[in-house]
Structure 1
Amino acid sequence: MRRFFYAATDVNKDGECDFAALSTFAMGTTLTLTESITHHWCRVLRANSGDQGVLFDGFGGEYLVELATISKKQATATVLAHDADDHTAPIISKIALVMSRGERMDYAIQKATELGVTAVQLLTSHHGEVTLKPAQVDKKLAHWQQIAIAACEQCGLNRPPLILAPIAISQWLQNPDTELNAEINDSIELNDDSNNKAMSTDKAVSVSVIVAKLSQDSYYQILGHKADIRLMLSVPSADQPRAPATLSSVLTSVLTQPLPYIELLIGPEGGLSPAECQQAEQVNFLPWQIGNRVLRTETAPVVALATLHALSHY
């Protein structure tokens, strides 16, 4: 059965339009579908009145609906039933990921979503190959958020991960526990350590407008708190161990908690610089190399999350 994200704020060719949360509709009532759902379900997939599908808005659970009316401008659906299961992972996880190019970044976000990541903090770094211009931030943020939403529609996750606007790794590591803020800021500085340039954007937001309202939900507020453990996926130098000797016992202790919160720091293809690694360790990131091979930046989130989920079930 087809699944669709019912965005609280739908973005279409006419601008932005706000919609009520699905929880405000009683069973048996009829709601107007967003333009995005109407286009995909009714025009692209050629659905007909009477066809059934599933809607979720990220605020909890999913709703079985039946198409009621379809016109050139809009479509409506009747709410039939509610399933409270969010299909979330047994851990809260945030990946701080240095941006990579093209399909590699799309892949990393898509697969991390399928593995239940809660948020992805985009980073720039000394060896990073992607630095966004101010005018690109909103567009790329919306693109990557849509990648995550599409992955949710496919895999059954009902709470989309938040894709957080890019920030320089050095700036983020100064205070990685800052509260999640989806309100409009005066400016966001994106420092590029490779060429010592700084960019600022006026009226930039920390998340895409698609999930701005959703980001205020209580489910995501833990992202503003200190993580139970911080792990830095990196290739150590010759005189360093792949991981602290105590990491195994620390991980076991954390993963036996009811709902542990774990942060993962993943560098670019060229790896984090020595200064960045040192700064990360100063704010309690523990180095963690999984196996004796070097993972690509798009592969590392998949392997790390899968490993953590496997360990959490033992």
Structure 2
Amino acid sequence: MSRVYLPGPWAEGQTLPLPEPAHRHLVQVLRLRDGDSVAVFDGAGHEAPARLTDIGKRSGNLQLGAVTTPNRESPLDITLLQCVSKGDRMDYTLQKAVELGVTRIQPLRSERSVVKLDAERWEKKRLHWEGVIVSACEQSGRTRLPPLLPVTDLESGLTDLPADRLKLTLLPGATTSLRQLPAPTAGIALLIGPEGGLSSAEAGRAQAAGFVAVHLGPRILRTETAGVATLAALQALWGDWQPADTA
């Protein structure tokens, strides 16, 4: 069933206008019509079945059914601190991080980041990234939108974290594997560098801030692969990819 992000508050029995982007996708692309069913979620944990009504060329309505609060969030509280990468690479990272259950995303500017923008263009990027996150939630069945924090410099991102986080980063030459670490008792902060990796100074600042350098094997991963692979490993070790009797 197609899913639509519809910010709340709303309640069972309401009839609400179909948002323009959703109309374009559901009606013009998928060719849905009056009476067809979709699901809606509010980004805050609520979901409801809905029926399309009064569909026209540019407008339509959604008639909501019973509201539920399904739990599809990971038991791991993971903050992804992702140094901004170029174009589709960043989109891919955001999309897959959402699918893999990330809790929040902190984009970072770093020394080797390829993307250099002024304030207006950063705002356009933010709006685009939020759209990627919404689409990933629609596809993956999540009912909560992971917050996209404002872009900041790497040093601020390293220091604006709760002290009880398990702080991890991938660095070439690291000798510690994830399996050697104790299971986290609070949240996890995962720092991923840009296309050119973290500079030696940045790596030093990360380790001074309590980040543990880890590896995922002998191969060097691209920035768009590193975060996704680590998130998958974290879910397999300590998250909701474990068998039900050991989770």
Q: TM-score, normalised by structure 2?
A: 0.89
Deviations 1:265-295 (A, max 9, x none): 0011221111111111121111111111101
Query: In the aligned structure 2, how far is the partner of 1:293 from the partner of 1:50?
Result: 52
Matched residue, 2:169: 232
Q: Structure 2: which 5+ runs fail to align?
A: none
Work out the percentage of aligned pairs sharing the same amino acid.
36
One-letter amino acid of the counterpart of residue 251, structure 1: P
Match of 1:265 in 2: 191
**2:6 is the counterpart of 1:21:** no
- Check 1:226–1:71 CA distance in 2 against 1; reply closer, same or farther (3 A cut): farther
**1:31 counterpart (7, 12, 16):** 16
Q: Corresponding residue for 1:76?
A: 61
Which of 222, 229, 243 is the equivalent residue of 1:303? 229
Task: Choose 51-60 or 37-46, whichever is displaced more.
Answer: 37-46
From the superposition, tell whether residues 112 and 243 of structure 1 become closer, same or farther in structure 2 (CA, over 3 Å): same
Deviation per CA, 1:157-184, whole angstroms, max 9, x where unpaired? 11122222221112322x222xxxxxxx
Alpha-carbon distance, 1:71 to partner = 3.4
CA distance in 1, matches of 2:164, 2:64: 38
Q: Stretches of 4+ moved more than 6 A in 1? A: none
Partner of 2:182: 251
From the two aligned structures, give the one with the greater strand fraction: 1
Deviation at 1:75, TM superposition (A): 1.6
Give the secondary-structure state (helix, strand or coil) at the position aligned to 2:66: strand
User: d(CA) in 2 for partners of 1:249 and 1:272?
Assistant: 23
SS in structure 2 opposite 1:108? helix
Which residue does 1:5 correspond to in 2?
5
Give unmatched runs, 5+ long, in structure 1: 9-19, 178-224
> What's the CA shift for 1:44?
3.0
Q: Secondary structure of 2:197's match?
A: coil
CA deviation vs aligned residue, 1:243-267 (integer Å, no higher than 9, x gap):
28xx645432x1xx4xx41100001
1:194 alignment partner in structure 2: none
Give the Cα separation in 2 of the matches to 1:141 and 1:5.
18
Residue 302 of structure 1 and its aligned partner are, at CA, apart by 1.1
Conservation of the 8 A alpha-carbon contact between 1:233 and 1:287: yes
Does structure 2 retain, via aligned residues, the 8 Å contact 1:38–1:75?
yes
Q: Does 2:215 align with 1:289? A: yes
Kindly indicate whether the alpha-carbon contact (under 8 Å) linking 1:86 and 1:159 is maintained by their aligned counterparts in 2. no
**TM-score normalised to the size of structure 1?**
0.71
